[in-house]
Amino acid sequence: MKSAVIVFPGSNCDRDLAVAFRDATGVAPAMIWHRETSLPDGIDLIGVPGGFSYGDYLRSGAMAARSPVMRAVADAAARGVRVFGVCNGFQVLTEAGLLPGALMRNAGINFVCRDVDLTVENSDSPFTRLYASGETITIPVAHHDGNYTADDVTLDRLESEGRVAFRYGSAVNGSARNIAGILNDAGNVLGMMPHPERMVEAAHGRSDGRRLFEGLLEGVAA
């Protein structure tokens, strides 16, 4: 499997995501600077990491979404390449139009940094194939603008089409319907606010995030 991690000014979880990709695939991902206009040939998986791209100026993810490399990411997604955006990466994907809705300031205007329980809502995607539908897992969050917002028509469509991948087990940041992660209509793009790359080995206290990365490898190998 060939993977890549996009790096923006202000990314601070790019190496965490790269390590998770490397450990799952056995091959280190290509680290792609945001000013590049193309991706490696034969790429199977693209990671858009967490952090504070461009210092969260203007709007979280808005400036990064207009970086030259995002045109190549959008083209790859349209071809069926898997794209995974975590935290700030989720914000970038919504701002780039690869996922619907927006991530707003947390309810209570507080930065939230703690482990949270998630319910796996859809286990029939490349990202969630090794989880059971309805399973509860624990994954850390660390965000200030994680309040997922969309109009009722969009929310109803996400629910009816099985595109809600993860849901918070309790109120965390004000997200509509406690949505923590969503899929695009083709199922090959996932954005989520919690950080599965921070819970992939015993030293992290739990390894609930590991199966997400292992499932991606299994899907490509199949």
> Is residue 221 predicted with pLDDT exceeding 60?
no
Distance, in Å, from the CA atom of 218 to the CA atom of 222, rounded to the nearest integer, reads 6
Active site residue 87: yes
Closest residue by Cα to residue 17 from 49, 64, 40: 49
> Is residue 222 predicted with pLDDT exceeding 50?
no
Instruction: Return the CATH number of 3-221, one of 3.40.190.10, 3.40.190.170, 3.40.50.880, 3.40.640.10.
Output: 3.40.50.880
Distance, in Å, from the CA atom of 50 to the CA atom of 28, rounded to the nearest integer, reads 18
Q: What is the mean pLDDT of residues 48-52?
A: 96
**Tens-place pLDDT, residues 9-36:** 999 999 999 999 999 889 999 999 999 9
Which residue in 13, 34, 121, 195 is the catalytic one? 195
Which residue in 13, 87, 95, 143 is the catalytic one? 87
Contact between 214 and 24 under an 8 Å Cβ cutoff? The reply is: yes
Distance, in Å, from the CA atom of 138 to the CA atom of 198, rounded to the nearest integer, reads 11
Q: List 7's β-bridge partners, or say none.
A: 33
Instruction: Provide the whole-model pTM.
Output: 0.95
Which residue in 95, 121, 143, 197 is the catalytic one? 197
Distance, in Å, from the CA atom of 30 to the CA atom of 168, rounded to the nearest integer, reads 32
Contact between 148 and 101 under an 8 Å Cβ cutoff? The reply is: yes
Domain boundaries, the chain: 3-221
**Tens-place pLDDT, residues 60-116:** 999 999 999 999 999 999 999 999 999 999 999 999 999 999 999 999 889 999 999
**Tens-place pLDDT, residues 131-142:** 999 999 999 999
Active site residue 195: yes
DSSP per-residue letters across 165-214 = EEEESS-SS--GGGEEEEE-TTS-EEEESS-GGGSSSGGGS--TTHHHHH
Active site residue 121: no
